[in-house]
Chain A
Amino acid sequence: MEKAYETFLRDRARALSGAEVVLTLRDLTPGRRKYRGVNARCVVSSPPRAGEPLLWIRSVVGTREATACSVRIVEELPESFPAVPYSDFFEAMARAERR
């Protein structure tokens, strides 16, 4: 099966800008570790590029887009981001992106 991830986005346009972005990806590989999370600096492509893992985009209420993109992982990041509890996670990711 083709490698696939999903991600939940508040700002879809930012992820699809073609620039490197920081995302939390959920690994959709079947088995016990399905839905494992990984934070990564990556580039999203739509339509998907051959040879890259598929990426399904979901909205903040979990609605999945009808077609998949693809994702190229540039760098895996630490499993969490520095911020006070209950801080906005999307802002924490944006800060990590600027570094």
Chain B
Amino acid sequence: MTTRAPKDFREFLAAIRTSGDLLEVHDEVDWDQELPGLGRLSCERNGPAFLFDKIKDYSPGWRLVTNPIANWRRMAVAFGLPADSHIKRLYETYAAREAKPIPPVVVKDGPCKEVVIPADKADLFDLPVPMVHDGDGGRYVGTWDLVVSKDAKSNWVNWGMYRFMIHNEKLMTGFPRPTSHLGKMLLEGYVPQAKPMPIAIAMGCDPLSHLAAAATFRLGGNEADLAGGLRERAVELVKCETSDLLVPASAEVVIEAEVYPDRVNQEGPYGEYPGYRSGEMGNAICARVTAITQRRDPIWTLDTTGFMDSSATSTSITGAIAIQRRLEANNIPVKAVYVPPEGGIHLAIVSVQRGGAEVAQKIVNVLTVRRALISKVIVVDADVDVFNMPAVLHALATKCHPANGIHVVRYQGKANTLTPAYTQAERQTRSGASVALDSTWPPEWPADETPVRATLDSMYSPDVQKRVLARWNGLGLA
């Protein structure tokens, strides 16, 4: 059964409670590693989301939810689909709704304005921000957030999901990459004019708005429109207290701030979505709080980043669809794309109607033009189901020539500094490489010499296949 996507975070919580994917914890839990540790373990064991209602050092009015959509069941519920929907259906749903954006509507008031705390009274330590991992550089506000920023020269509004760390009561440091949309806006629009850049960090919006914020989306595109499309109804936005930025009115908490055009401070290290803490610290941005607004009984949200976190499932969908669109726009005969969440957003599987060295090289070139988040692409023939990882591994192991099938592109200034394989020197210069592992048959091989797969559907006559399947079913095998 399909229902409407939840209109806000609380409706989403009610839905995953009903589907059996939310576990409520009433005992007091420590925000300092213990609570995030439970969330972490749940990611690693495909467990539930947690709702904690008693957080050490914080008043009972605060609650906290971990890893809202870190598995496919909760992602399905976020789309209004049955929790047991197949990944393919989630991909198809995203692709269909992405193509029908719905602009947001502006409202005068909203739940996120129930409590307004001005700059002089704002204190980041009043928020139950967890220490996510032992050894992180500090406490991270932005693990599952929606950061709003606006281009200095146009009407382009960006929603992104970026990490922000508390330095003191009013100061945060953050690491939206310099190649991110926010980084681009800051460096090209505000820094040259020595102007502070307003931002708003919204926590606890409806899950598809966060998904839109995390999405790999085109430069100049407004993710609020994308979120409306994904939800199949407009997002309601309300104006910030200290800037003209608009934030989802249903947010649980909004931190308004200004990014300095001329100041830095320590940020990181942080245990990130690739599943490691890689030492990417020392090159960040610095923001000062200008106001905090929140609900009266707010719910903080946390993505205990690492292996199989919420960003893994989010980018699995949004990254794959973005890759497919980009390859299609570059006339690559792509059939399907899958970004397996187990790959920490470093691996993509691309099936093509016609493969070979030229196509594989073109794929890796196209995917690294502006920035390079994916470092490995397995290219398979169209008869391999990209969602069937055993079949993909079989193709890679058997069809990828160990020398001729490896197609590398190297780059500087746009590498993913979170890639654990890179040296500290590569991280500092943002140097790196991506590779296509061509697991297709070379198109120049004649058909009568191309190996034939030894499976029922390839190496048996249609008549035998029919008889085998009939007998299989007759034996009561599914």
Contact = CB atoms under 8 A, between A and B. Distances in A.
Contacts of B178: 86
Interface string B212-256: 000000000000000000000000000000000000000000000
B135 A85 contact: no
B125 A37 contact: no
A83 B263 contact: yes
B264 A80 contact: yes
Interface in B295-338: none
B82 interface: no
A90 B281 CA distance: 9
B266 A86 contact: no
A58 B138 CA distance: 12
25 contacts: A24-B265, A26-B138, A35-B131, A36-B125, A37-B266, A60-B281, A61-B135, A62-B133, A62-B136, A62-B269, A79-B167, A79-B168, A79-B171, A80-B263, A81-B265, A82-B262, A83-B262, A84-B191, A85-B260, A85-B264, A86-B283, A86-B285, A87-B283, A89-B284, A90-B282
| Main secondary structure on B side of the interface with A | loop
A81 B269 contact: no
> Residue among B259, B261, B263 with the most chain A CB within 10 A?
B263
Contacts of B277: 61-62
B279 to A, nearest CB: 4
A43 interface: no
Interface string A66-86: 000000000000011111111
Nearest to A33: B125
A39 to B, nearest CB: 7
B137 interface: yes
A17 interface: no
Contacts, number: 114
Interface of B: 32, 57-58, 125-126, 131, 133-139, 166-169, 171, 178, 183, 186-187, 191, 259-269, 271, 277-279, 281-286, 424, 428
B103 to A, nearest CB: 31
A88 B133 CA distance: 24
Q: Count chain B CB atoms within 10 A of each CB in A38, A39, A88, A89 and give the residue with the most.
A: A89
Query: How many A residues touch the partner, as a band?
Result: 20 to 34
Among all A-B residue pairs, the 5 with the closest Cβ atoms? A62-B135, A60-B279, A80-B263, A37-B167, A24-B266
Interface of A: 8, 10, 24, 26, 31-39, 58-64, 79-90, 92
Contact of B265 (A64, A80, A86): A80
Looking at B171, B265, B267, B424, which has the most chain A CB atoms within 10 Å of its CB? Answer: B265
Q: Which among B135, B191, B285 has the greatest number of chain A C-beta atoms within 10 A?
A: B135
Nearest to A83: B264
B187 A63 contact: no
B189 to A, nearest CB: 12
